[in-house]
Amino acid sequence: RKRYKRFADLGANIGLHSILGARLGWETSAYEPDPDTFAQMSSNAALNGVTISANQCAVGARAETRSFTRVNGNRTGSHLSGAKPDPYGELEHFSVEAKSFVEILRGHDFLKIDVEGAEAELFCSSSAADWARSEAVMEIGSENNGREIFSHLTKNPGINMFAQKIGWSKVTSASDLPTSHR
């Protein structure tokens, strides 16, 4: 609890992790691109009496305007368009602003990254130097993302990664990484 001071919740959704971070006394920044979900997150923070820096935006490899896919009926599956190969259900598409992952990473010492298929894009935009003062917990949503992330790890030996899949041991092969949120 005292190890971290500045927490970033990427893919904040309705704000559960943001609320917990704020309750732990961390300066908390939440990033959620969907305007409806963002409004619910902001309301939930107020209902729980916490202050968070709420950012209605996506997070990408660079700051730019992106297409976003809302999965109606399962907002936890909404994502940057193209990040998931076969989205299901009723879909809506609209433009969102994205902030640079590396800028966010450099400004926080702990991050929760649950970005529905865009993990490799974010992670591969960073270097070992970017991770010098930061740690994260990250969901890896696909086998392809796992392979890309491992490849980036091999090119950046200063980044350590540990996986729940192998009892929180250090990742030494692509097969050590999960291939799904399950």
Q: What is the pLDDT of residues 93-126, one digit of tens each?
A: 999 999 999 999 999 999 999 999 999 999 999 9
| pLDDT at position 97 | 98
Residue-averaged pLDDT of the chain: 95
| pLDDT at position 167 | 96
| pLDDT at position 98 | 98
3-state secondary structure string, the chain? CCCCCEEEEECCCCCHHHHHHHHCCCEEEEECCCHHHHHHHHHHHHHCCCCCEEECCEEECCCEEEEEEEECCCHHHCEECCCCCCCCCCEEEEEEEEEEHHHHHHCCCEEEECCCCCHHHHHCCCCCHHHCCCEEEECCCCHHHHHHHHHHHHHCCCCCCEEHHHCCEECCCHHHCCCCCC
| pLDDT at position 162 | 96
| pLDDT at position 87 | 87
Q: Which residues of the chain have pLDDT under 50?
A: none
